Chain A
Amino acid sequence: MESVLKISNLNLFYNNVQALYNIDMDIKMNHVTAFIGPSGCGKSTLLRCLNRMNDLIENCRIEGSIQLDGAEIYDKNQDVVSLRTRVGMVFQKPNPFPKTIYENVAYGLRCQGINDKKILDEVVEKSLRKAALWEEVKDRLGQNALRLSGGQQQRLCIARAIAMEPEVILMDEPTSALDPIATAKIEELIQDLKAEYTIVIVTHSMQQAARISDETAFFLMGELIEMNTTKKLFQLPNDKRTEDYITGRFG
């Protein structure tokens, strides 16, 4: 199976405090990869390395290599803007812009200079359909996105990411602010999306990782303890610490 992202020997420091230690990892194409581990284990930090969102944090230093389709994303010639159009992101808290539903989905394209109404209409509809939101909003695309429910807002954020046709979609605990029904919808959606996209999801819920992911990586205190197919990691973990965590002995 081909890998899209290849992380090797990655170390990350905030000021001079090391937050990630020697991470090596391959993320496979059209798979859902889940990052699990207790709070503060570095799973979100690693996720944010993959589209260079950590660039926003002052005094964050990164060593090692991350390759997207074989090209180093931390290369100084790498265009961060184009990287982020290829690696989309959905955040923990739904964060639609205070604009209309339509403009939220069209936003990324408009930033690329695409303003042709025909193209935008098409992409907006296609993205909302893929995010399983079209039927609920097709008659009110001009409405402010902040008036949608939390679950709808999160699916809108997924639609907004999809509109850019990324290769990878990063999701940082996308359901932790949602109720069980909205969560189930998003999980179902993730299953549908992996046919076209590679998905990396950080989750607090081991059940969620078990339900939706193909591969799972377990992190502890900035280290990648174990990565394996989800089935294997939950049924037959190699490492004692993984076993302790998934059986609920800590965390």
Chain B
Amino acid sequence: MNIKKEKNLRRAFFFIALSTLSVLAIITLFIFFEGIPLINKVGVFKFLFGMKWAPSQGLYGIFPMIIGTLSVTLGAALIGVPVALCVSIFLTEFAPKQIRMFMRSTIQLLAGIPSVVYGFWGLTFIVPFIRDYLGGPGLSILAGSLILAIMILPTIISISEVSLLALPGLYKQGSLALGATHWQTIWRVLIPAAKSGIMAAIILGIGRAIGETMAVIMVLGNAVALPNSILDPARTLTTNIGIEMGYASGDHQQALFATGIVLLVMIMILNSAAQYIVRKK
């Protein structure tokens, strides 16, 4: 009797675990079913590299948005990664215990702020600042990059902090015992030893930046054109879906799903790269 009960219980847990997987499968399948026909109709090349997005004329080229996504993400990484790495090194190597505890929980809070609040803050603060001091409309790639840089900080900081903390203390002692300074120890031993974890942190942070929608809609200007400078507005793949989904139908709606496919593939590549790097170690 009891054995049977345990067996059933195990089955139930297995089923629940399986259902989360099936959600992923269903969403993926759904997006592909909806999007693939349109990509076929337009042609893969024309869809990915077409310069014009005009649903009312039946033109579905997402190249400006791919460029938009890439440039905003690259900008966020260029600003956010160095800051995040400095913070994680400070936390693991320099901060006194109490400051470390305080900062760690504060950084966690940063991850909890809703993205619409980030967007709102960016719109009222960063956008006017850029418009007044750097020129252009303010709604720009730079504004989006700045907001995203802040938003990816918690991810990169906490994962790289964990990988730095996971290093055996003997590395540090061994290096210091050879007459290396604290900085040399950090730079030549600790960071290289934690490299795979830090790389994974960066990739996951970038993945987060690519997927972010709400905050970006609010500060990016959303113009569908190839940007010429970081002060120009742009549109990303996510914001394209976010803005137009409400009123799209027919081919237009399918084109948004197709945009989703491109996004999904990008994120999948990034996540598998992160997992590969961590496992390779």
Which chain A residues have a beta carbon within 8 Å of chain B's beta carbons?
Answer: 51, 53, 56, 81-82, 84-85, 88-89, 91, 93, 95-99, 107-108, 110-112, 157, 160-161, 164
Q: Helix, strand, loop or mixed for chain B's interface?
A: helix
Q: A99-B192, A110-B188, A111-B181 are in contact. Are A53 and B176 (CB under 8 A)?
A: yes
Q: Please, how many angstroms separate the alpha-carbon atoms of A112 and B184 in the complex?
A: 10
Residues of A within 8 A of B170 (CB): 91, 93, 95
Query: Nearest residue in B to A92 (C-beta to C-beta)?
Result: B170
Residues of A within 8 A of B184 (CB): 111
Interchain pairs with CB closer than 8 A, number: 63
Check B173–A53 contact: CB distance below 8 A.
Answer: yes
Interchain CB contact (< 8 A) of B179 among A82, A91, A95: A82
Residues of A within 8 A of B189 (CB): 97, 107
Q: Please, how many angstroms separate the alpha-carbon atoms of A55 and B193 in the complex?
A: 24
Q: Please, how many angstroms separate the alpha-carbon atoms of A148 and B180 in the complex?
A: 24
List 10 tightest A-B contacts by C-beta distance, closest first.
Answer: A85-B179, A95-B170, A108-B178, A89-B177, A111-B180, A84-B179, A95-B174, A111-B184, A81-B179, A98-B193
State which residues 150-184 of B face A: CB under 8 Å.
168, 170-171, 173-181, 184
Q: A99-B192, A110-B188, A111-B188 are in contact. Are A91 and B173 (CB under 8 A)?
A: yes
Q: Please, how many angstroms separate the alpha-carbon atoms of A91 and B178 in the complex?
A: 12
Q: Please, how many angstroms separate the alpha-carbon atoms of A243 and B168 in the complex?
A: 38
Check B168–A84 contact: CB distance below 8 A.
Answer: no
Question: Interface range on chain B: under 10, 10 to 19, 20 to 34, or 35 or more?
Answer: 10 to 19
Interchain CB contact (< 8 A) of B193 among A97, A107, A164: A97
Q: Please, how many angstroms separate the alpha-carbon atoms of A99 and B190 in the complex?
A: 11
Query: Nearest residue in A to B190 (C-beta to C-beta)?
Result: A97
Q: What is the minimal beta-carbon distance from A211 to any residue of chain B, in angstroms?
A: 25
Check A98–B192 contact: CB distance below 8 A.
Answer: yes
Check B174–A108 contact: CB distance below 8 A.
Answer: no
Check B177–A88 contact: CB distance below 8 A.
Answer: yes
26 contacts between A and B (CB under 8 A): A51-B177, A53-B173, A53-B176, A53-B177, A56-B173, A81-B179, A84-B179, A85-B178, A88-B178, A89-B177, A91-B173, A91-B174, A91-B177, A93-B170, A95-B171, A96-B174, A98-B171, A98-B192, A99-B192, A107-B189, A108-B178, A111-B180, A111-B181, A161-B177, A161-B178, A164-B179
Residues of A within 8 A of B176 (CB): 53, 56, 84
Residues of A within 8 A of B168 (CB): 95
Residues of A within 8 A of B178 (CB): 84-85, 88, 107-108, 111, 160-161, 164
Q: A97-B189, A98-B192, A99-B192 are in contact. Are A107 and B171 (CB under 8 A)?
A: no
Check A107–B188 contact: CB distance below 8 A.
Answer: yes
Q: Please, how many angstroms separate the alpha-carbon atoms of A111 and B188 in the complex?
A: 9
Residues of B within 8 A of A157 (CB): 174
Q: Please, how many angstroms separate the alpha-carbon atoms of A107 and B174 in the complex?
A: 11
Residues of B within 8 A of A85 (CB): 178-179
